[in-house]
Chains A and B, each alone.
Chain A
């Protein structure tokens, strides 16, 4: 591929205003919809498509421009404000990494918007939906374009806000309102780390500038301990947004939002933000071996834990949700194993096939009114486009040659193998499980007998389901077309890095090129992962298609383990029952409240009562009887005179 031929050492020539326009375009769409077109569904959807479409076009222009410049960096900074000693800038920075992210975010988001015009048709909050979607996309684009950590943090939090609004889109459902809250709070716990890193970098390096921080880390002027703390803070933020163990618990619950939102969250926006963040500060992680090791192990643990939970889910969307968590673990594992290219490449391919799978599950839901795989089956004939594109996405996710997922996953496994064999072993196990649970889902959903879907509840005013779940049909074209379009990169995106073109391109975003071994293919790794994936598919085929073994009896065999998986390792119970309700709400918080109410208020009201008591005690003295006063006066004079004489004897 003549992907990168231009000579190095020139910077992208793209005009600054075009870069800001990438942000401004969906932001304007958001403003227009929010202010004027909330009640005009016809306009809202197209306005969102137009806004994101324009930034998608500019993103591609930017990408080609950066390719011309060989992935070099362009940066435009302006002062925003000064508070005391702190100067905060707003600026944009494009390089290979940014350009790739821009294209991924805008193209996936654009297809999701198109799909949403079909999926959300008839919903009472149609206008509000597209307004939030525009805000979501804007926030993510701002995060990617930001040239400094302060600005990045601002958009980082705005991503959190948009996801809150979208996960809780159907806010009348208690489960949706709870899931939105959970997503925001859990990710905010991670954000504390990011905020602490922001404070640390200002106090030690005196800059928020990304290039400045890269330089600071590489220069060796800070101690290893400080660099490691900074890196871990960054990673804590990333772990929240990118759903890494132990902060992954919000992501599966985020399924409560409309399905296209899930597609966007899981593919291009929110969860990608964490991986992007670590990649953005990759030079810092390179300096700190300790931090990298933490990232690698947390990533591997996340991948493994999520994959095991995905094995036992009965809800199609939850299978996909846990698979996202698992794949994000893969990406973090790669970053920790210093496989910067592998991680971003997997982020890139994963965005396409995961968006495809989510939109496919939404299409299934559009026909059956449910995500419960136990109520599906046999949809292969009824929804052929959905079926075939879903299979393509699953094959890609499972890492089957020559689809996109094969190439990127292979690079991660290779990096893991070189870094630590134990990590490779965990990752390979996950590869086997991934293939198994995805094809379990396919066989349950699309093969066998159709089990009728979920009957429509006509009493629910918020239900806008149109067809008849008993007779599912293929979805309309606005939904089908994005599936077909996404299927193309799900198959082909892996080819971009066969000659390491992609890697060379994004490597220029780093201050110096990585020194470690750059060969990206090894037959042993590739064949073993392919073998494991095929074995996973075969096992799923045997159990859920041929039914040689009953899945129920299989569950019996693995009972204690299956129970742990089904209960999600009890993490939700530990967090909610023990920490939130037990230790905090009924324990510590209550203690402080009681302190407020009885100890402090006791002193306050007690001093009031004391004053009143003393006054009551003294009141009889002032009873208005002159003779008493006279007596007191006389006694006083006598005591005074005696005292004077006692002090000064004659």
Chain B
């Protein structure tokens, strides 16, 4: 199959790939193998960055660098405009009602730690936090730490063998003791798109707030936090084609207002006396210390880039790629593919009868194909499926059908390499 897709803004797939400098460079492998093209299939771990994002970070540090919210000089104003400008872009990107509902963090993990430490500080023994068995460690361990501190209990919506939530158990799991629900939107292992609409509706019927971990969904689908009516939404800039080290916690104003600060320091205070302080208003109450303004500059540019391609166009292309990859991968001999059969995201975890996922990843690397192998920071889910490790190929709009065909060809070659002649 040839790759002749044109995105909403008139850019062809090959033109889009040219925006990503890393895809233009040959990969140097060990042992004198001639450099090869990179086939990057690890976007679920971190996305590659378009030149526009790299330029924005570069521009910030070459022309705009200054501290925010305090300097009265020209650069201080510019840096503040960049930082707060990205906050507005994010508000619009996820359709939040207010700009001050967007809190900058380091990444999804920090967003959830902020929430657990701050919102969770009032939890009492006997209170129940409902999570799922498929959560990434980042939406599990912060709640475990909270449980040790406050005595609250953690409960879990189970998963089935397809990596789908057993939502028929939801009514029993939501009780009058449930004080919080946290669930991932899209699974980083199975590619499952969870029915968060149903979970939010049922939790809200009992006045329970819901956090959506949007690390894997925000780069691949249009998020509308008002339509979803979720109370919190967390995501990372680096998975959204932006720089590492900047992430977001969205929270509804009423909740954020009621929450105590997460970290203390500069920028988050209104007035400081030696004996006590008062807090700054939202969102700065949660942003202690000098923030990652360069990261914000890059993230703002990443959002512009996505908007130019348009989510409709990105989704159409990624859906086509996902369907194609699902069809080809499920046809490979001796491969077990995990995750739902039908509607799913472009995340494909698999195991091979004849070789371990590490050896698979190492073999593919020899041909420039980057996949992940391991437990994907979801050990409880892996344990439930009785698998210690999986290989995972994950897609983005810069991937092509030819790359998927190449992956399939090399998976077959790996099977032969490890089973032949021994």
**Do A and B bind?**
no
A-contacting residues of B (Cβ < 8 Å)?
none
B-contacting residues of A (Cβ < 8 Å)?
none
